[in-house]
Structure formats: C-alpha cells, structure tokens
Amino acid sequence: MIPATPVTLSVHAMATRFELVLHGDDPTRLRAAGEEALAEIEHIESQLSLYRTDSELSWINAHAGRERVPVEPRLFRLLQLCTRLSDLTDGAFDVTVTPLTRCWGFVGGTGHIPTPAELDAARAVTGMHHVELDEDGSTVRFDREGVELDLGAIGWERIRNRTCGGYAKGTWHCERTDPRRDEYNLRHRRDAGSGGMAGRGPRPC
C-alpha cells in the first residue's frame, strides 16, 4: 500500500523556519491540525520574539529597566525556568546575553569586533542577577537600564513542545504529548526548526 502524501506546512518565526509534515488518511483534518499548530507558533512568537517590536518580550526589554512590568502567567513561569536553568548551569545558560550579542553584531547579522570598552559596557548589563521576578504580582524588573532578554533558545523548545509534544534532536520522541492533537486522529507528524527535529507517532514507511 502506497502511503498517503503528507501535508506540509511551514512558517518563519523566532528568526528561524519551522516546518510541519503530517501523515494520515484525512488531508482536511491534517491541514486543520497543522494550521492550529502554526497559529500556536505565531502566538508564541508574538510573546517571545526579540526581533518584533510589538512582542511582549520587546515591551519588557524597553520598560523593565525603569519599572515593574506585569507579565502573562505562562511567560512568567518561563522566566522562572530561565532563572533555575541559569542557577543549575552556573550562569552558562543566560537569557540576558542580548547586550553581548548586539556588541558582537550577531543581532541583525552585521558582525562587529567590539572594543574593550564596548565589551565592558555589555558585560555590566549581562547576568540573571540583574533580573528581579516578583511571584506575587507576576512582574519582572531589571535592576538597571540596558539589560535585555533573549528567549530565542528556550522559545524554540517551547514551540516544539507545544506543537509536537516533545523534542529529541534528529530522533522521534513522544514525551509531553498534547492530547488536543488526538482530536485530529494523526497517525504521524514531525516538526523541524532551528536545526532540530521533533516527532510523534510511528515513523511512516
């Protein structure tokens, strides 16, 4: 039996391309599931993108150095996770790295060799110790202006977990599945983005 042609959808978000490939017997249901997943990706980008001036992250970066900024509950929990990961890795995982990536010209892809003074200035506003989270009010504040968050790395993982239910680079993985997707009776789907791949269901023949 020849497998049905998969339904493929894609979207550019979080400065990368996400592609969904869905296998099953009902193309209409497959496309409905894929479009729901793309809508979720676009919603997450509207919150987490460093490159969109209208994103919630951009609002935080612009205002949290001067005042406490209320944060949507799921995003607040994500920031708490970032803090825990930073602690567990002794600062190796650091979402406040934006001043340094700007300093080296990585934001926008222009490239730049910074001067020692530029590096010192960027380092002075880098580090999770500059980020104050108030759980009672679900607010975030920076202890100085110039601190900027970049949630790109963890944002990509959030997208994969929300749309495909799990992640394992280059392999199929079925953890943390989203039961809503079962409404569409998908036999198999996979999602690729940022050089990684996630999948759910048996590998198609």
pLDDT tens by residue, 142-172: 999 999 999 987 887 777 777 765 433 333 3
Residue 4 above 60 pLDDT? yes
pTM higher than the cut 0.85: no
Same domain, 163 and 192: yes
Determine the structural domain holding residue 18 and report its residue range: 7-48+156-200
Same domain, 73 and 146: yes
Pick the more confident residue, 192 or 51. 51
Same domain, 43 and 94: no
Same domain, 86 and 143: yes
Q: What is the pLDDT of residue 82?
A: 94
- DSSP for residue 104: T
Same domain, 29 and 77: no
Q: What is the pLDDT of residue 171?
A: 30
DSSP readout, 144-181? STT-----HHHHHHHHHHHHHS---TTS---SS--GGG
Same domain, 119 and 137: yes
Q: What is the pLDDT of residue 173?
A: 31
Give the model confidence (pLDDT) of 110-126 as tens digits: 788 999 999 999 999 99
Q: Is the dihedral of CA 88, 15, 68, 97 positive or negative?
A: positive
Q: What is the pLDDT of residue 132?
A: 97
Distance of alpha carbon 155 from alpha carbon 153, whole angstroms:
5
Geometric angle at alpha carbon 180, from 178 and 182, rounded to 5°: 90
Which DSSP helix (H) or strand (E) runs through 132?
A: strand 131-134
Distance of alpha carbon 90 from alpha carbon 48, whole angstroms:
24
Distance of alpha carbon 75 from alpha carbon 77, whole angstroms:
5
- Of 35-39, 156-160, 191-195, which range is least confident? 191-195
Total structural domains within the chain = 2
Question: Residue 136 falls within a domain, yes or no?
Answer: yes
Residue 2 above 70 pLDDT? no
Range among 73-87, 156-170, 184-198 rated most confident: 73-87
The contacts of residue 174 (CB under 8 Å, 6+ apart) are 165, 166, 199, 200, 201
